Amino acid sequence: MTDEPANRMIDDLLDDIYHGQERISQAEIHRRAVAAELPAAVLTRISALPRASTRWTRSPT
């Protein structure tokens, strides 16, 4: 898997997750990626996100 398709899969997942939400935890992002049956390479990238108590905020596009 090249970076471009993996990045696109992550972008699509985040667009879906953040729809109507301002913040979301790394654990929820990972849970949704597993539920979406994304490839292992994509799950590895998502797992690399910090698991701190902070929550991710995606700026509106």
This prediction's pTM = 0.67
Q: Give residue 3's pLDDT band: very low, low, confident or very high (50, 70, 90).
A: confident
Q: Looking at the 3D structure of the chain, how many domains does it have?
A: 1
- State the residue range of the domain holding 26: 3-52
- Across 16-25, b (16+ Cβ under 10 Å) vs e yields ebbeeeeebe
59 part of a folded domain: no
DSSP-based three-state secondary structure for 6: helix
Decide if 23 is inside a domain: yes
Q: What is the pLDDT of residues 6-36, one digit of tens each?
A: 889 988 888 888 777 677 888 888 999 999 9
